[in-house]
Amino acid sequence: MGNADAHMMTEVMNRCTALNMTLSGLTATESPNVSKGYENQALHLIQNGILIELNSEKELTGIEPDIDRLSDVAVESVKSMLSIYNQWLNDNYDDAGSYFNNDFEIEMKGCELAVKLVLQMSSG
């Protein structure tokens, strides 16, 4: 993530938003507080992704970007990723009787780093 351009960082934020929303849904019944934590992280991630894209577009064009358009693009990206993550979890469960496998856990760890980055950016 340290070498990523703004568009790539936005993609990471959207991807991790979807992952956190997926995990929020997965934990909603059994652990509402954990679910809420994932939901809050998702909100911070998507907001940060939109801000990154907003600042990048403004820097490139010198024109104030359309935040509604950027938000719509982010939401569509997240929706697309949600279906991918849900399918991944279902495939894992069908294959091994568990939603999680090593690859999915690596994905979660990557998003934990993204959350830490967002928290650092918002506090500094």
Q: What is the pLDDT of residues 9-35, one digit of tens each?
A: 999 999 999 999 999 999 999 999 999
* Residue 109 maps to a domain: yes
Residue 5's pLDDT is what? 86
Residue 70: give the domain boundaries. 6-123
* Residue 1 maps to a domain: no
* Residue 31 maps to a domain: yes
This model's pTM is above 0.85: yes
* Residue 80 maps to a domain: yes
* Residue 111 maps to a domain: yes
* Residue 83 maps to a domain: yes
CA gap 55, 37 in Å, rounded: 27
Number of domains comprising the chain: 1
Cα dist from 24 to 18, 31, 109, 110, whole Å: 10, 9, 16, 17
